[in-house]
Amino acid sequence: MRFRLLTAHPLQLPLLSSAARGAPPGVDPEAYSWFQSVDSDHSGCISIKELKQALVNSNWSSFNDETCLMMINMFDKTKSGRIDVYGFSALWKFIQQWKNLFQQYDRDRSGSISYTELQQALSQMGYNLSPQFTQLLVSRYCPRSASPAMQLDRFIQVCTQLQVLTEAFREKDTAVQGNIRLSFEDFVTMTASRLL
């Protein structure tokens, strides 16, 4: 069974209120309902396979493996390769936040982010990056077509990686000059330790 969890019109889960009654303390009841549906083998944990089956872009393609792995790594506090209900609850909020931003930046409501929409999104998020950089993201993360566009999974991946790299840069850019000097060793360490 697949849930169009992340589209503009998510399927209404049946029995939300009764399923939500058993939600552990601190876990959003709606997230708990989703957790139980996504945990298809009822192991109490979500594997990357289960996550991938649950997450669908607005064009009905499954989320790509890289984004699913990145998200599992972010919310898997025990490094087991799977996420429990608390990790899922945090992941659920994380996805909702990105989905809301995605819909906000998808100005023509096409269900995907075009080059122009991405350029505007990055600028509104406070990034001072060139059109060439946006073009690089589009050619790397959008399927080739006459009007390439980014699906939600790639948007989450790209924005999260940008945030992580920005934080790493800021730690070194103590004078807030927008420039840092790095040795090769520092560069590879900074990059390797931040890859999600």
Ligand X SMILES: *[C@@H]1O[C@H](CO)[C@@H](O)[C@H](O)[C@H]1NC(C)=O
**Between 131 and 143, CB nearer to ligand X:** 143
**Shortest Å, Cβ 145 to ligand X:** 9
- 120 in helix, strand or coil? helix
- Report d(CA 118, CA 127) in Å as an integer: 11
Identity of the residue, 28 or 66, whose beta carbon is nearer to ligand X in the bound complex: 66
Nearest Cα residue to 95 out of 75, 112, 78: 75
* Choice between 59 and 139, CB closer to ligand X: 59
Q: What is the dihedral of CA 171, 176, 182, 186, to 10 degrees?
A: 0
8 Å CB contact between 132 and 152: no
Nearer to ligand X by Cβ, of 59 and 97: the residue is 59
In angstroms, give the least distance from the CB of 117 to ligand X: 14
Nearer of residues 41 and 65 to ligand X, judged by Cβ: 65
Nearest-5° angle of CA 67, CA 60, CA 69?
15
Shortest Cβ distance from residue 59 to ligand X (Å)?
Answer: 4
Q: How remote is the C-alpha of 195 from its chain's centroid? A: 14
Note every long-range contact of 105-110, with CB atoms under 8 Å and residues 24 or more positions apart, other chains counting: 110/149
Give min distance, CB of 137 to ligand X, in A.
13
Residues forming contacts to ligand X in the complex (CB under 6 A) are 57, 59-61, 143, 151
Beta bridge partners of 149: 114
Minimum distance between the CB of residue 57 and ligand X, rounded to whole angstroms?
A: 6
